[in-house]
Structure 1
């Protein structure tokens, strides 16, 4: 079973994220409502809502689930990416969730679900259109987005959880560089013991692999990866499964035209033209379902 040094990994990831975002400023074209709370877990249950300045009516709404291996990340690291999405005519929700190893599975799913329930009750106050919801996620957030979209589209799968799934449906999802097929070839905690626990409850094991619970009601999906994404090999097989269920799924392998390496979660880099292309094409896909 894989062991990782979480403090060291967090430090290394934070260094890379800081380098990526240094010098960026928040756009003046966006209204940002910050530090709202959707649950009882302090800063880990806070979120921001963004929409274009001058917005007076509810807009199609994107909820973003950040990545970070289930143990790292927060909304601050995603604010430039999600503010860009908002600048293109959407309301965007950018939220924190509880992280491993202090909080293990299914804490991030419970938090995502609590956020959705908050949006159903209060969203209109912040121009959230819960009838036109979209979901994006990358890396671990891509896995969470895939799993939560499966929960909202398969009542049988939802019944395997200890919490009631919010009454939401997604018009489409954007799955970027995600960690799919957990449990396909072995115990689900073999790569993520800090997330699932060293001892695996039988109920949890029965909830994986997520892909075995995907149905024809799964939302249309825009699935992306990159030439040097370490999770590249699981992206296209997910698209294949979705298509086999009759779900509209686009698969995109992005690359730099000069052959330079293009890595994991490249779309978060607001200076990267290929990342911008990916984000624009994701939004174009979403607009097909408005």
Structure 2
């Protein structure tokens, strides 16, 4: 084959591949405008979810592991059987079971479609300090839960599962070495919506009745709330400064809230953390990134808490300081994530939360 023919063949082949890619993306865009199910399912199967998306069996054999820093990790404990993925992990500092200390109850993010309670690989020692292990090293018991994922399960299933996990810990926590001095609810991204709505149920009786739920925890047992890059207002789920993320978040939100329009969905309005908050809400620490994240929602929450006179701190770094993306706070190799961790711990201590290491 001559050089001229080879070049022509290459151009035609490249053009054909490019055309095929464009057709696939156009088809996917058109399909997603009707239903996001194929798009999200494709991403889950492509590796966004490890193993089965929703399973009534744990992904690993339940085990107790002493990590290199002395933390005891009790993994894959089943806390319920009504919904899939009803498993949790417990981190106990230095393996000191039955030591009375505050418990952080963590709910992971992932747009309600993926994510995992492990938040990375807690059993490995690498260059990036593991977020949940770091919390344990600072004197907290840490409980991290999984929950059922969309599109097979939607709102408000994760809320029900969090309630089941809390009841499980109230009944069986001591069997796993938890001797509580109160609980701190912490949620990242979609997990922030779940814990925020749950705490609203505990602190707002009228709102609890709307959802046909009853408070599970005494208000004085909730020592604090931490929102990490949290979804707080589903109406704004697709309103970041990143077009691709907006497209993805819109697809996830429409599936989870079972609506064609995030601006009109009843469940979207019902789930709004900011709207249903009252002055009983516990002391709260808020942080968010400044790029491709829910920054404006965090600012809205900060203003709302000012109005309600709720003790809180909003830790935010603008783009002039550093570009920080959605979920930056868990990447503890980042100097601003480290600073945020220090500020969060100081805030909790200043509000009478005494970790014990």
Tell me the residue number matched to 2:23. none
- For residues 241-264 of structure 1, the C-alpha deviation after alignment (integer angstroms, 9 at most, x for no partner) is 01211101111113588x552111
Q: Aligned partners of 1:168 and 1:9: how far apart in 2?
A: 40
Q: Which runs of 5 or more structure 2 residues have no equivalent in the other structure? A: 1-31, 51-66, 123-129, 239-249
2:75 matches 1:34: yes
- Shift of the 121–203 alpha-carbon distance from structure 1 to 2, 3 Å rule, reads farther
Equivalent residue runs for 1:170-189 within 5 Å:
170-183=222-235
Tell me the residue number matched to 1:100. 150
2:291 counterpart (186, 205, 228): 228
- Shift of the 264–183 alpha-carbon distance from structure 1 to 2, 3 Å rule, reads closer
Equivalent residue runs for 1:258-269 within 5 Å:
259-269=321-331
Q: Aligned partners of 2:169 and 2:138: how far apart in 1?
A: 21
Q: Aligned partners of 1:256 and 1:88: how far apart in 2?
A: 29
SS at match of 1:70: coil
- Shift of the 124–148 alpha-carbon distance from structure 1 to 2, 3 Å rule, reads same
- For residues 110-132 of structure 1, the C-alpha deviation after alignment (integer angstroms, 9 at most, x for no partner) is 00000010111112233434441
Deviation at 1:222, TM superposition (A): 0.5
Tell me the residue number matched to 1:271. 333
Task: Tell me the number of residue pairs that the alignment of Structure 1 and Structure 2 aligns.
Answer: 278
Q: Which runs of 5 or more structure 1 residues have no equivalent in the other structure? A: 16-25
The answer to whether the 8 Å contact 2:107/2:195 transfers is yes
2:347 counterpart (277, 285, 289): 285
Q: Compute the TM-score of the two structures, normalised by the length of structure 2.
A: 0.69
Tell me the residue number matched to 1:45. 86
Deviation at 1:134, TM superposition (A): 0.3
Deviation at 1:271, TM superposition (A): 1.9
Q: Aligned partners of 1:63 and 1:287: how far apart in 2?
A: 17
- For residues 156-213 of structure 1, the C-alpha deviation after alignment (integer angstroms, 9 at most, x for no partner) is 1111123433224421111011111224799xx9971211214799974662433222
- Shift of the 12–46 alpha-carbon distance from structure 1 to 2, 3 Å rule, reads closer
- For residues 130-160 of structure 1, the C-alpha deviation after alignment (integer angstroms, 9 at most, x for no partner) is 4411011111111112111111111111111
Q: Aligned partners of 2:236 and 2:340: how far apart in 1?
A: 28
The answer to whether the 8 Å contact 2:237/2:294 transfers is no
SS at match of 1:111: helix
SS at match of 1:212: coil
Q: Compute the TM-score of the two structures, normalised by the length of structure 1.
A: 0.84
- For residues 218-254 of structure 1, the C-alpha deviation after alignment (integer angstroms, 9 at most, x for no partner) is 0111110122242111111101101211101111113
Tell me the residue number matched to 1:6. 40
The answer to whether the 8 Å contact 2:226/2:284 transfers is yes
Tell me the residue number matched to 1:196. 257
- Shift of the 104–252 alpha-carbon distance from structure 1 to 2, 3 Å rule, reads same
Q: Aligned partners of 1:205 and 1:136: how far apart in 2?
A: 21
- Shift of the 109–184 alpha-carbon distance from structure 1 to 2, 3 Å rule, reads same
Equivalent residue runs for 1:56-71 within 5 Å:
56-71=98-113
- Shift of the 136–205 alpha-carbon distance from structure 1 to 2, 3 Å rule, reads closer
The answer to whether the 8 Å contact 1:110/1:163 transfers is no
Moved more, 53-62 or 196-205: 196-205
Moved more, 174-183 or 82-91: 174-183
